[in-house]
Structure 1
Amino acid sequence: MNRTLFFAATTLAMSLSAPAAAQRNFDDVQITTQEIAPGIAVLFGAGGNIGVSHGEDGTVLIDDQFAPLTGKIQAAIAELGATPVQYLINTHWHFDHTGGNENFGKAGATIFAHNNVRVRMAAGGTAAGNPTPPAPKVALPVVTFEQGVTLHVNGDTLNVISTGGGHTDGDSVVHWVDGNVVHMGDLYFKIPGYPFIDTNSGGNAINAMNTLDSVIRMIDDETKVIPGHGPMSNKAELVAYRAMIGQVVDLVKALREQGMSKEEAIAAKPLADFNRGEGFIGPDAFVGAVYDSLVASGG
């Protein structure tokens, strides 16, 4: 396995384990920066990839990883020549993407997210079987929306779009129209293993496919694609990812139509011929999530 992808998969597994995250020493985490277009960058560290828009109108951050990393993230932003974060967008509610909300909220950032992100953060819940406590008020999104919101900043148009989620019920993608960049959040993993469909948070594989289809129609072959985890990507790789999900859905649907239960479908090992490496989400977990998604969708 490619060392970069192995590190990304290991980081994600730790990110989505609340006890591991609580015990982890973040001192050794380095925030690395990749400038992908004028005024647009992506930060890699521990947790979800961070998007940055910076320029004369201020700094917009997309996701913020873990609270102990806030200082390092702020330093990386300053090294870009950017001002402190004015606006913060959460692509969804999971703590490896919203863990820094409290710190950035206290520092004066206005937080944006889908309605369900605020609801789930306020209530607390589970992600990958791990508990997340209710978030303090200062960490909650202040501006919420159902379908989207547009920011006109730094000479670009940032469309924050929700088309029904899929990873959770509160996913958003962020599209820089002029910069031709899209941040996918965890609707797209570019790491070994399978997609994480968080059915406990309203995730659904059918909705994920529909959302990916919407994004694919919106972008072109030159679009720079920021995945939720893993290195930078592009439209062709996103299309292949969407096609893989569709293949799995078709396989699991066929097993359901044969009368198999969820447990029987998992035991049938329909993904035995797939070669996606070892990752945070294995084939059995993904088959189970797809089965649950089909049941929920009536498919």
Structure 2
Amino acid sequence: MIRIASLAILPAALFATSASSQDPFSSVEVTAEEIAPGIAVLHGAGGNIGVSFGDEATLIIDDQFAPLSAKIEAAIANLEAKPVKYVVNTHWHFDHTGGNEHFGKTGATIFAHEDVRVRMAKGNPNGVGGRAIPPAPRVALPIVTYDQGLRIHLNGDTINVMFLGGGHTDGDSVVFWEEDNVVHMGDLYFKISGYPFIDVNSGGNVYNAMRSLDLVIAHIDSETKVIPGHGPMSNKAELVAYRAMIGEVVGRVEALREQGLSLDEAIATKPLADIDRGEGGFIGPDAFVTAVWNSAS
């Protein structure tokens, strides 16, 4: 099974597809992990997919990459769930919204923060990794958008979709299942090697991310099942540690700014050298220092 253990590997393969006949998704296995009655997580490539399923309908949170749509449907069918009727996008990045076009064509209603629709409709000529992101086709765009959030009553659950201020981008949503004590964090939480991804070019800001994380942490308890945007299942203690790490980095970068250093000079001091974030990873220490620096600019 291929999971996103390192985002440094998969994007490189994806960006090379136009020059290569190899399909980087052919060997990806999408698997389901049921974490509560009627709630599952799908692991594959791209962002973790949350699933609400039951007698009424199936709702998914994010839908990874377009070529995986059939595999996602098969994994949902293996849960003995109905076909997807609703999709919630936690943010606009293509590894979380790539399946929108497919599910839109099958009749699913897509929900997202209003900035997600704006960014998808516009595209980005200089997206993540320098990849040009074309405007999404109309069928892939969210149909229902919101400013602060919405509440969905489905399959006996109260599902709260909330915009807490963003941080990874300007349109991040967090999804809470009230009765089952489950939260889907989207990419506000990476449980993988490397540092957090603050997409400043998409309105991301590390200070907003910290505030969003603080609000989630205040809302959950030690029994909450935490679904990260990438990586295996988590819990409150690990999320608290993640937030503390970000705060420590921000404090160090702020101190360097106060000393009058330039960004290049600050990076040259290697301020994160003693923080162990594992090997590899999509975002290295220099990139994270840069994102923190630019968040304060």
Query: What is the TM-score when the length of structure 1 is the normalising length?
Result: 0.94
Distance of 1:28 and 1:66 partners within structure 2 = 14
> Contact (CA 8 Å) 1:15, 1:47: kept in 2 or not?
no
Distance of 1:16 and 1:290 partners within structure 2 = 24
| 2:69 aligned partner, one-letter code | T
Kindly state the Cα deviation for residue 205 of structure 1 after the two structures are TM-superposed.
0.4
Identity of aligned residues (%): 67
> Contact (CA 8 Å) 2:61, 2:87: kept in 1 or not?
yes
Matches within 5 A, 1:113-132: 113-125=112-124, 126-132=127-133
> Contact (CA 8 Å) 1:15, 1:96: kept in 2 or not?
no
Change (3 A) 1:197 1:13: farther
Kindly state the Cα deviation for residue 49 of structure 1 after the two structures are TM-superposed.
0.4
Q: What corresponds to 2:211 in structure 1?
A: 210
Of 7, 10, 18 in structure 1, the residue corresponding to residue 6 of structure 2 is: 10
| Secondary structure of the corresponding residue to residue 131 of structure 1 | coil
Q: What corresponds to 1:48 in structure 2?
A: 47
Distance of 2:112 and 2:75 partners within structure 1 = 23
| 1:87 aligned partner, one-letter code | Y
Q: What corresponds to 1:286 in structure 2?
A: 288
Matches within 5 A, 1:76-155: 76-125=75-124, 126-155=127-156
More helix by share: 1
Change (3 A) 1:16 1:79: same
Kindly state the Cα deviation for residue 12 of structure 1 after the two structures are TM-superposed.
5.9
Distance of 1:206 and 1:157 partners within structure 2 = 29
Segment of structure 1 superposing worse, 78-87 or 123-132: 123-132
> Contact (CA 8 Å) 2:7, 2:282: kept in 1 or not?
no
> Contact (CA 8 Å) 1:17, 1:130: kept in 2 or not?
no
**CA RMSD for the aligned pairs?**
1.6
Distance of 1:78 and 1:286 partners within structure 2 = 39
What do residues 217-237 of structure 1 show as CA deviations (whole Å, max 9, x unaligned)? 111100000000000000000
Aligned length: 291
* 1:176 equivalenced with 2:172 (yes/no): no
Query: What is the TM-score when the length of structure 2 is the normalising length?
Result: 0.95
Kindly state the Cα deviation for residue 263 of structure 1 after the two structures are TM-superposed.
1.2
Kindly state the Cα deviation for residue 20 of structure 1 after the two structures are TM-superposed.
3.6
> Contact (CA 8 Å) 1:16, 1:96: kept in 2 or not?
no
Segment of structure 1 superposing worse, 40-49 or 124-133: 124-133
Change (3 A) 1:215 1:13: farther
| Secondary structure of the corresponding residue to residue 247 of structure 2 | helix
Distance of 2:129 and 2:216 partners within structure 1 = 26
Q: What corresponds to 2:244 in structure 1?
A: 243
Change (3 A) 1:220 1:46: same
> Contact (CA 8 Å) 1:168, 1:201: kept in 2 or not?
yes
> Contact (CA 8 Å) 1:11, 1:46: kept in 2 or not?
no
> Contact (CA 8 Å) 1:128, 1:198: kept in 2 or not?
no
| 1:55 aligned partner, one-letter code | G
| Secondary structure of the corresponding residue to residue 25 of structure 1 | coil
Distance of 2:48 and 2:11 partners within structure 1 = 12
Change (3 A) 1:21 1:140: farther
Segment of structure 1 superposing worse, 121-130 or 193-202: 121-130
Distance of 2:12 and 2:147 partners within structure 1 = 26
| 1:29 aligned partner, one-letter code | V
| Secondary structure of the corresponding residue to residue 277 of structure 2 | coil
| Secondary structure of the corresponding residue to residue 212 of structure 1 | helix
Structure 1: runs of 5 or more not aligned: none
What do residues 238-284 of structure 1 show as CA deviations (whole Å, max 9, x unaligned)? 00000000000000000011111111111111001111122110000
> Contact (CA 8 Å) 1:175, 1:182: kept in 2 or not?
yes
| 2:63 aligned partner, one-letter code | D
Kindly state the Cα deviation for residue 46 of structure 1 after the two structures are TM-superposed.
0.6
Distance of 1:120 and 1:12 partners within structure 2 = 24
Change (3 A) 1:46 1:204: same
| Secondary structure of the corresponding residue to residue 32 of structure 2 | strand
Q: What corresponds to 2:15 in structure 1?
A: 19
Distance of 1:55 and 1:7 partners within structure 2 = 26
| Secondary structure of the corresponding residue to residue 42 of structure 1 | strand
> Contact (CA 8 Å) 2:175, 2:183: kept in 1 or not?
yes
